[in-house]
Structures are given as C-alpha cells and as structure tokens.
Structure 1
Amino acid sequence: MTTPPTTPATPVTTAVRAQVTEPRARFRDLVAAEWVKLWSLRSTLWAFVFSALAVIGFNVGTAWDEYRYWSAADTRSRAGFIRDGIPLSIAFTANAAMILMLALSAIGATAIVGEYRTGLIRTTFAAVPARRSVMAAKAGVVTAVTTVFGAVVSAASFGLTQAVLSARHAGVSIDHPGALRVVAASALLAPVSALVGMALGAVIRHSAATMVASVGILLLLPLVFSADRHWAAVVDHALPAGAWDRLVAVGHQPVAYPSTVTGAWIVYAVWAVVAAAVAVTSVRRRDQ
C-alpha cells in the first residue's frame, strides 16, 4: 500500500497567516479611539464645564466690581482707564489664568495617568504595539480639544467683561490695540498647560505627584523668580506664566529686564513641542 503524496504545508500556512493578519492601525483610527477614551469619562465633561465657569466667573466678577465702584473713582482715574489698558487686564485676570493653568494641567495629566491607574494602557499597547503613535494621537486629541476650550473661554471672557464695562463707557472692542493678543494668549495658555500636565503624567504616572509637579512648574516657580535680576528674569520669561504675563501686558513694563512679545510666543511654542515630545517618547524608554 502506497502512502498518498502530501503537499508542502509551509506555503499554505504562510498564505493563511497572511490572510488572517490584521491590518496595521491607521493614525486616524488611533485619533478616533483617543477621542472616545477622552469623552468616555463623565468627569472630563464636568471638568471642562466647571473650569470654564470658574475662569469666566473670575473675570466677569472683576469687571462687575469696576462697574459697581465706578462712581467712587475720581475723574482722572476714569479718564486714564482705557489709556492704561485696564479693560484688557480685566478681560483675562491673573487669577483666572492661574485657575486655567491648574485645571487644564490636571485634565492633561488625567488623560494619561488615568490609563496607567486602571491598567487600560496595557490593553491599548497590546492592541497597538506602536506606542509612539498611540501617544501622538492622544497628544493631538488633547491639544485640539483644549485649544477649542481655551478659545471659547477666552472669547467669552473678553466679550462678557467688555459688555459689563461698556455700561460705564469703559469697555473696548476686539480691534482695540492689544485686545486680540490678549484673547489669543489666554486661549493658547490652555493647550500649553494641558500638554505640560500630560508630559508630567507620562513620566511620573501618579496622580498626586503629577499634580504637585504641575503646580510647582506652572504656578509656584513664577512666584520665586522675578524680573528684577537678570538671571531670575531669564527663568521667569522662560516659564509659561511669564510668557502669558508679557503677552497680555499693555504699554511699558515696569521691570528691569522686560521680555519681548516675540520671545513670549516662542516660549509658548517650545513648551508645547517639548511637552508633546516628552509624552510621546517616554513610553519607548520605560516598561509598561
């Protein structure tokens, strides 16, 4: 009895494996997945809502105080109100900027730390081994969402505060010198802060420690370094808060070492790019 000839299994097996091999995930698919993950938590929406209300509330509250006590101001103060750029300083106050930086850095950190805390990041990387692409998609989604958020909050703050001041004939329009820069700088402070929080979260991977680091970099360091000494001024101008201060400043800066508007925009860009790069590359150097 003869044994029937057998066909080589290798080509067939290779062909079958080629057919069942899943296609590589496209970047737009990763972006869509990160979008779903960002909004899958109800806390994300509420964080944005409460942050917006707090920021706008601080700004409008400051404008309302000016409206209430307008009659108590002397004639000279009223005459120089617009000339001195006070309406623009009220359009987005320093307190509102601090709240924005704190809230948005927390949102950016949560976008990555939450996945490490729940272990979802392991599932994500098991499904998509291209870790840098995953983190790039996450950074892109966070940047886009927080930029829109910052634009809405900044524009709303400007419109509402100037509407309140206009009742005293003290408001300015968006085409007033420096007004558009104040709105743009305040809007872009949101994605910069979110990316800083995300980068720190990708490196530290612990909620409490990440928040402490975010507060230290975004809020505490600007209080330590002032522009009265050259070396301290260099550090202050290189921080996001220092760059925002310069961009929203109107007229002469009463400091020994003032920065430039161009330099402040560069600081914004460098912080955003470096933070995104840290978030993307950190997953390749550490075990998950």
Structure 2
Amino acid sequence: MTTLDLPVAPVASVVEPRARFRDLVGSEWLKLWSLRSTGWSLLLGALAVVAFNFGTAWDHYRYWLQYDAASRAEFTANDMALWDAFTYNAALVLILSSAAMGAVAVVGEYSSGLIRTTFTAVPARGALMAAKVLVVTVVQVLFGAMVAGGSFWSTQAMLSARDIGLPITHPGALRIVVASALLAPVCAVAGMAIGALLRKSAASVVGAVVLLLLLPAVLTERRHLTAALAHATPLHAWQRLADAGPPVDEPFPWSAGGAWLVFVLWALGGAVVTVLAVRGRDQ
C-alpha cells in the first residue's frame, strides 16, 4: 500500500480583539449592579445620612419656641441652619458607607476567585481597574449628590416652617452641598485603593476606617505637624468646606482652596494606586 500525501490547507490563526474601554466600563457596570449588596448598601447609607441630618434639624424645629431671644438671634446671625444641612455625624456615616463600598468593589472578586477569570479574559489589568474606578466613581457621585441634595432640601424645608430655613443661593450653602456630595466618591476611591493593596474584605474595611475616620479624629490642630496631617485628610477638608459659622481663631488656618485640593489629590491618588496595585502581582 502506498500513502497518499494530501495537501493540508493552512489554518488561519484567530486573534482575539482587545476589549474596548467602553466594553470594560459596561462589563464593570453590570458586574457592580449584579451584586444584591450594591443596591441595599446605597439605600441604607442614604437613609442613614439623611436621617442624621433630618434629626438634627427636627430638634431645632421642635425646641425653637423654647429658646430665648439671644439664642434665636445667634442661630440666625451665624447661619446655623446650614449646620443642619449636613452634620458631622452624617459625614462620618457617608465616609464609612462609601469607603466600604469602594473596598468591596475590588476585594469582592478576590474573595470569590473571580478575579483570576477576569484577568484571564482581560489581560490589560490597568484598563480593567480604570474602568472599575470610573464606574464606582460615577455611582458614588450620583449617590453623594442625592444624599447631599436631599439632606439640604429636607432640613431647610423643615426649618422654613419656623422662618429660619435658608435657600441654596445663600452664601456658603452651595459649597456645603457640593463638598458633601463629593466626599462620597473621594472616600470610595480611597477605599478601592485600600482594597487593591490588602485584598481582604475585613482588612480593607478596617483599614478604611482607620485611615479615613480614626486617624483624622486623633490628629490635633494645636501643633503644626499634626495640623498639617489633619488638613490632608478628607474628613478635615470636608469640615473646612462645610464650615458655615463665624470665623474662629485657629492656630494654623488654611483656605478653602487647599481643602478642594485635598479632595482632588485623594481622588487621583486613590485611582492611581488602584490601577497600579494589580500589575505584576500574582492573583
């Protein structure tokens, strides 16, 4: 028997096209909202933040007629109605909620093991994490705008029943709303950076609490070094922007422009760390 040499047709190699960035954004958007915890965390966080602000305004509304004339005059003269628009306790809850969501958005895939499949399907890890940062930032901007705007409207509407509410056009009112709204995405991106570095759910949430809440609380403004460190935190930057009261004699004063710069640097720094932390590391 003889063997016939049959011609073999060349097989064209199939090259998988690189994922477009908008496709990565769409994938991360679906991935985020496929988690049942996303909707619940946003809802509960919004209710808690608005409730803290509304409760403070309710106390002023309820006991307004019991205040003496001097206290009422001081409340009006110092624009203390704006203090109810977004309180310190509400800011703490907002920081915790947003930072935790940002951290979980990253470490959730590590805990489930899905991150290996994700990086296998999309080798461009930097682009993938950039898309994740963009999606979380957009969601948190909308979340922050909703809770800040809702808090301002509800508190000032209640205080207006006593003729002490202030409009959004009042000096300093818009700055409080914008600063409170942007506090959410800034802390969410910081939480993502912590999650990308630690890669453990519990450790990332604890790290976010320590960095964004506990550390600013223990930094005093009586010394130059600790004051400079305190001013570099998002919480103190928010306090500077949300300060609607009369000027106080601070040992180391700083400007509102510096506080806005802190917001920008934390957002950019958190995004860069999140993108770079996944490169060159085993998953």
Asked if Structure 1 and Structure 2 have the same fold, meaning a TM-score greater than 0.5 normalized by the shorter chain, the answer is yes
Is the counterpart of residue 204 in structure 1 residue 198 in structure 2?
yes
Matched with 1:284 is 279
User: CA offsets, 1:140-198, max 9 Å, x none?
Assistant: 00000000100011000000000111111111000000000000000000001101111
Q: Distance in 1 between matches of 2:110 and 2:3?
A: 58
Name the amino acid aligned to 1:178: G
Matched with 1:104 is 98
User: Would you identify which runs of 4 or more consecutive aligned residues in structure 1 move more than 3 Å?
Assistant: 1-9
The one of 148, 158, 183 aligned to 2:177: 183
Matched with 1:226 is 220
The number of aligned residues is 282
Is the counterpart of residue 61 in structure 1 residue 55 in structure 2?
yes
Supply the RMSD in Å over aligned alpha carbons: 1.6
TM-score calculated relative to the size of structure 1: 0.94
Shift of 1:6: 6.6
Is the counterpart of residue 261 in structure 1 residue 265 in structure 2?
no
Matched with 1:122 is 116
Q: Distance in 2 between matches of 1:253 and 1:244?
A: 16
Q: Name the SS for the 2:279 alignment partner.
A: helix
Q: Distance in 2 between matches of 1:141 and 1:102?
A: 19
Shift of 1:85: 2.4
Query: What are the residue-to-residue correspondences of 1:133-212 with 2, within 5 Å?
Result: 133-212=127-206
Shift of 1:4: 7.3
Confirm or deny: 8 A CA contact 1:227 1:258 kept in the other structure.
no
TM-score calculated relative to the size of structure 2: 0.96
Name the amino acid aligned to 1:105: A
Name the amino acid aligned to 2:191: G
Shift of 1:256: 1.1
Q: Distance in 1 between matches of 2:77 and 2:144?
A: 27
Shift of 1:53: 0.1
Structure 2 portions without partners, runs of 5+: none
Which one is further off, 71-80 or 96-105? Answer: 71-80
Q: Distance in 2 between matches of 1:148 and 1:195?
A: 14
Q: Distance in 2 between matches of 1:276 and 1:24?
A: 22
Name the amino acid aligned to 1:153: V
